[in-house]
Chain A
Amino acid sequence: MTILVIAEHDNTTIKSGTFNTIGAAQKIGGDIHVLVAGQGCGAAAEAAAKIAGVSKVLLADAAHLAHQLAENITPVVVELARGYSHVLAPATTFGKNFLPRVAALLDVAQISDIVAVESADTFVRPIYAGNVLATVKSADAIKVITVRTTAFEAAAAGGSAAVEAVAAGADTGTASFIGQELTKSDRPELAAAKIVVSGGRALGSAEQFKAVIEPLADKLSAAVGASRAAVDAGYAPNDYQVGQTGKIVAPQLYVAVGISGAIQHLAGMKDSKVIVAINKDEEAPIFQVADYGLVGDLFSVVPELMSELSK
């Protein structure tokens, strides 16, 4: 049994979700190979080779793989996949984008967003916004799987795998990359942060979101998240959204500020180790999952919290 993990990377470094995906592969058991597909991504391949438990790194390096477009990365993975029992990718926007294409061309089901491995062919995955956990068994010869990264331990450093070049295929020519606008921030990555401070609709404006949530996040070296209501209202960028259809987070500490706690939001954060809720409505559903609830006006509580943390 050999597992192929598709690395998410920026051609230089390996993104954190890849380490958790390798962690999931270790739970399945067997040899683990990692594919690094990109352009000028030799450094990323070298980094992948140093992850514990990886026995081989496959490197597909070509101009048409620079932006890892689904149309171009899919044929590379499909070509390799036939030699593997499992193909895994993180359930990030990277993995979700191309892996179903791979599954369809292999004529196998994809098992999305697994949170536990029961055996080599049986996995647990959340459905209905995480309100139900389904245990599913695959009858396909190749198991194609995306991994909920917060549900698995990250693989450690300490490997020394060989890097082997593989065929990079051709440019399909049907899609081209125009550009990216990435949110610039020195804060930790939301999906992997140890502490997350999230703001909701009660912030009232983009200015107040920035003035109240961001300093608290910086004080705690935390990532910033938001509820759907806050994003819809334009208080925070789209990629801050935590929830069923946004990011799934499971930090050591999640601080929900002015968030009522719709089930779709809870789906994205209820596996956090410790949850703090600050809300002036003592009936808000967020208090039903919070370890520590503080009923009060966020505009006075948060500044007070800032000064208490400075003591």
Chain B
Amino acid sequence: MKALVAVKRVVDYNVKVRVKADGSDVDIGNVKMSMNPFDEIAVEEAVRLKEAGKVSEIVVVSLGVKQCEETLRTAMAMGADRGILVETEAPLQPLAVAKLLKAVVDKEQPQLVILGKQAIDDDANQTGQMLAALLGWPQGTFASKVVVADSKVDVTREIDGGLETVALKLPAIVTTDLRLNEPRYVKLPNIMAAKKKPLDKTTPADLGVDPAPRLTVLKVAEPAKRSAGVKVASVQELVAKLKNEAKVL
């Protein structure tokens, strides 16, 4: 069974982004970029399924600028077999990404597509569900456990009150939550080996998709800063302030 994993190149989770002076966008000119953490979990899950003999080949796909090749190489160093870059300088919103991924899925015919539940830059949490809808496939979002059997996958999902388990007929979409697994550290020999793995390139035009954004960003701004309050010296002072000053007790 072939698995396809989508990975996004995002601003590293340790970087605190700044807004450009004119408020037009965030300034990501010279910041560290990394694979979206949820996508790392998606790659790790596919690799574990391959190691368990459930998956025979892992195709990893990224969409965006040329530097996404680095993200694909990281995924291949983790264990993906080959990469596809849908190269474009155009900004991509989730609906466009889902349409592009559908075109790739139509060609590659995987039985399982694994994506991160959300990217930590736009925090949209849409692409996996949109791809599932466009393909007419079932979905297991926010997965904390994935069990693949012959023609189905059981997905345990993190929901607001606890956990929910659903059974999905393959082919299916899975989106990963934090506790699905802990991604491995990539070893140097694997990084070297990943450089030799096949990496194909295509474009939105080749795939017949118009990726034009539907939402226009009018402005970006930093939220009102919360200022530090006071340090209290004792529990008695704390309770007194909560009762008399903040009036929340």
Name A's B-contacting residues (CB within 8 A). Answer: 67, 69-71, 74, 92-94, 96-105, 107-113, 122, 126-140, 172-183, 191, 195, 220, 228, 231-232, 237-239, 241, 244-245, 247, 252-253, 263-264, 270, 273-276, 282, 287-295, 301, 304-305, 308-309
Q: Are the CB atoms of A110 and B124 closer together than 8 Å?
A: yes
Complex partner residue of A174 from B17, B19, B26, B168, CB under 8 angstroms: B168
B95 & A288 in contact (Cβ 8 Å cutoff): no
Contacts of A93 in B (CB 8 A): 142, 157-160
Contact A274 B246, beta carbon cutoff 8 Å: yes
Q: Which residues of A contact B218 (CB under 8 A)?
A: 122, 135-137
Can you spell out 19 A-B residue pairs with CB atoms less than 8 angstroms apart? A74-B133, A93-B157, A97-B129, A110-B95, A110-B126, A128-B17, A128-B123, A130-B223, A132-B17, A140-B214, A176-B167, A238-B178, A244-B123, A245-B38, A253-B246, A291-B246, A292-B242, A295-B231, A308-B235
In the complex, the answer to whether B221 meets A132 with C-beta atoms within 8 Å is yes
**Could you say which of A128, A132, A241, A294 has the most chain B C-beta atoms within 10 Å of its C-beta?**
A128
Q: Which residue of B lies closest to A295 (CB)?
A: B231
- Counting contact residues on chain B (CB < 8 A from A), the size range is 35 or more
CB contacts (< 8 Å) of A181 on chain B: these are: 162-164
Give the complex CA separation of A71 and B126 in angstroms: 15
CB contact under 8 A between A136 and B158, given known A101-B130, A228-B178, A305-B239: no
A290–B230 CA distance with the chains assembled, in angstroms: 8
Q: Is B132 an interface residue (CB 8 A)?
A: yes
User: A239 touching B159 by the CB < 8 A rule?
Assistant: yes
Give chain B nearest CB distance to A144 CB in angstroms: 10
Q: What is the bound-complex CA distance between A140 and B95, given in angstroms?
A: 12
Q: How far is the CA of A275 from the CA of B19 in the complex (A)?
A: 26
B22 on interface, CB distance cutoff 8 Å: no
Does residue B220 face the partner (Cβ distance < 8 Å to A)?
yes
Q: A111-B215, A132-B26 are in contact. Are A239 and B231 (CB under 8 A)?
A: no
Q: Which residue of A lies closest to B15 (CB)?
A: A128
Nearest-neighbour CB distance to chain A for B154, whole angstroms, equals 7
Q: Which of chain B's residues has its CB closest to A253's CB?
A: B248
Grouping DSSP codes into helix (H, G, I), strand (E, B) and loop, the B interface class, with mixed when no group exceeds half, is mixed
CA distance A232 to B248 in the complex (A): 31
In the A-B complex, list the 6 residue pairs whose CB atoms are closest, starting with the nearest.
A291-B229, A100-B129, A109-B214, A101-B133, A104-B130, A175-B138
Q: Which of B222-249 contact A (CB under 8 A)?
A: 222-223, 226, 228-232, 234-236, 238-239, 241-242, 246, 248-249
Q: Mark B115-148, 1 if CB is under 8 A from A, else 0.
A: 0011011111111111111101111011010000
Interface of A is mostly: mixed
Interface check B216, CB cutoff 8 A: yes
What are the residues of chain A within 8 A of B95 when measuring CB–CB? Answer: 103-104, 107-110
Report which of A109, A244, A295, A308 forms a contact with B93, defined as CB distance below 8 A.
Answer: A109
B200 → A minimal CB distance (Å): 26
B interface, CB within 8 angstroms of A: 11, 13, 16-17, 19, 26, 38, 93-95, 98, 117-118, 120-134, 136-139, 141-142, 144, 154, 157-169, 172, 177-179, 213-223, 226, 228-232, 234-236, 238-239, 241-242, 246, 248-249
List chain B residues, Cβ under 8 A from A134: 217, 219-220
**A54 CB, nearest partner CB in chain B, Å:** 23
Task: Give Cα distance in the complex from A92 to B125, angstroms.
Answer: 11
When C-beta atoms are compared, the residue in chain A nearest to B17 turns out to be: A128
CA distance A244 to B222 in the complex (A): 16
| B248 close to A176 (CB less than 8 A) | no
A105 to B133, Cβ gap below 8 A? yes
Contacting pair A274 B248 (CB below 8 A)? yes
Q: B242, A253: Cβ atoms under 8 Å? A: yes
Expressed in whole angstroms, the minimum distance between the Cβ of A53 and any Cβ of chain B is 24
What separation, in Å, do the CA atoms of A108 and B96 have in the docked complex? Answer: 10
Contact residues in A for B242 (Cβ distance below 8 Å): 253, 274, 276, 292
A25 and B185 CA atoms in complex are apart in Å by: 46
Residues of chain B within 8 A of A128, CB atoms compared: 11, 17, 26, 120-121, 123
Give the residues in chain A near B141, CB-CB below 8 Å: 70, 96-97
Separation of A276 and B118 alpha carbons in the complex (Å): 30
Which B residues are in CB contact (< 8 Å) with A135?
Answer: 217-221
User: B134 — nearest CB in chain A belongs to which residue?
Assistant: A104
Measured CB to CB, the nearest residue on chain B to A175 is: B138
Given contacts A110-B126, A287-B228, contact A175 B238 (CB under 8 A): no
Taken together as a complex, chains A and B put the C-alpha atoms of A171 and B74 apart, in Å, by 40
